[in-house]
Amino acid sequence: MSQIRNTWRLLPVYIFLYTPMAALVAFSFNNSKFSTAWKGFTWQWYARLASNTQLMDAAINSLTIAILSATIATVLGVLLAVALFRYRFCGRRAVQAGLFVVMMSPDIVLGISLLLLFVLMGIRPGFLPLLTAHTTFCLPFVVATVYSRLKGFDPHVIEAAEDLGASEYQAFKNVILPMIMPAVAAGWLLSFTLSMDDVIISFFMTGPDYEVLPLQIYSMVKMGVKPDVNALSTIMIGVTVCLVFVSQLLMRKTK
Amino acid sequence: MNMHNRFRFLSISGAILWLSVFGLFPGLLMMGTSFLARHEAHLVDFRFSLEGYRTIIDPAFLKILWNSLYLAAGTTLLCLLAAYPFAYTLARMETRWKKVLLMLVMIPFWTNSLVRTYALVFMLKTRGIVSTILVWLGITAKPVSFMYTEAAVFIGLTYTLLPFMILPLYSAVEKIDGKMIEAARDLGAGSWRTFFHVTLPLTMPGIVAGCMMVFLPALGMFFVPDMLGGGKHLLVGNFIKNQFLVARDWPTGAAAGVVLTLLMLALIYVHGVSKGRLNKAGKKKS
Walk me through the domains of chain B, giving residue ranges and CATH numbers.
47-285 (1.10.3720.10)
Residue A190 has pLDDT above 80, yes or no: yes
Distances (CA, A) of B79 to A97, B74, B129, B214: 27, 9, 22, 8
What is the band of A228 on the pLDDT scale with cuts at 50, 70, 90?
A: confident
DSSP 8-state symbol, B199: I
pLDDT at B283: 61
pLDDT at B90: 92
Phi, psi dihedral angles at A33 (to 5 degrees): -75, -45
pLDDT at B1: 47
Nearest CA in chain A to B267: A104
Helix ranges (H only) for chain B are 3-19, 25-34, 51-56, 59-91, 98-110, 113-124, 129-137, 150-175, 178-186, 191-194, 200-220, 223-228, 236-245, 250-285
Say if residues B239 and B64 touch (Cβ distance below 8 Å).
Answer: yes
Contact between chains at A98 and B24 (C-beta distance less than 8 A): yes
Nearest CB to A108; choose among B11, B82, B240: B240
Residue A236 has pLDDT above 70, yes or no: yes
DSSP 8-state symbol, A247: H
How far apart CA A200 and CA B31 sit, in angstroms, is 20
Q: Does A116 touch chain B (CB under 8 A)?
A: yes
Closest CA to B109 of B157, B168, B171, B162: B162
Residue B4 has pLDDT above 60, yes or no: no
pTM of the model: 0.90
Other Cβ atoms closer than 10 A to B60: 10
What is the amino acid identity at position A87? Y
Contact between chains at A240 and B110 (C-beta distance less than 8 A): yes
Mutation choice for B interface testing from A6, A7, A11, A13 by most B CBs within 10 A: A13
Residue B284 has pLDDT above 60, yes or no: no
Continuous segment of H or E residues that includes residue B244: helix B236-245
Residue B41 has pLDDT above 80, yes or no: no
Distance from CA of B281 to the nearest CA of A (A): 23
CA angle A186, A255, A251 (to 5 degrees): 25
Distant-in-sequence, close-in-space partners of A106: CB < 8 Å, separation ≥ 6: B216, B217, B219, B220, B237, B260, B264
Closest CA to A145 of A95, A204, A192, A188: A188
How far apart CA B134 and CA B151 sit, in angstroms, is 16
What is the amino acid identity at position A102? V
**What ipTM was assigned to the predicted interfaces of this complex?**
0.88
Say if residues A150 and A113 touch (Cβ distance below 8 Å).
Answer: no
Distant-in-sequence, close-in-space partners of B94: CB < 8 Å, separation ≥ 6: A3
Nearest CB to A23; choose among B15, B18, B122: B122
Say if residues B24 and A98 touch (Cβ distance below 8 Å).
Answer: yes
Average pLDDT, chain B: 87
Residue B2 has pLDDT above 70, yes or no: no
How far apart CA A109 and CA B65 sit, in angstroms, is 15
Q: Which residues of chain A neighbour B16 with C-beta distances below 8 Å? A: 91, 95
Q: Which residues of chain B neighbour A233 with C-beta distances below 8 Å? A: 112, 115, 118-119
Mutation choice for A interface testing from B5, B11, B20 by most A CBs within 10 A: B11
Q: Which residues of chain B neighbour A217 with C-beta distances below 8 Å? A: 114-115, 118
How far apart CA B208 and CA B165 sit, in angstroms, is 10
Nearest CA in chain B to A241: B107
> Helix, strand or coil for residue A240?
helix
Distances (CA, A) of B188 to A19, B138, B194, B285: 43, 49, 9, 20
What is the amino acid identity at position A68? L
Nearest CB to B127; choose among A36, A135, A168: A36
Half-sphere exposure of residue A61: CA atoms within 13 angstroms, side-chain side: 24
Q: How do residues A43-62 score in pLDDT, each as one tens digit?
A: 888 998 888 888 899 999 99
Q: Does A251 touch chain B (CB under 8 A)?
A: no
Residue A191 has pLDDT above 50, yes or no: yes
What is the band of B286 on the pLDDT scale with cuts at 50, 70, 90?
A: very low
Distances (CA, A) of A157 to A144, A211, B74, B111, B124: 21, 47, 50, 39, 57
What is the band of B61 on the pLDDT scale with cuts at 50, 70, 90?
A: confident
Q: Which residues pair with A41 in a beta bridge?
A: A30
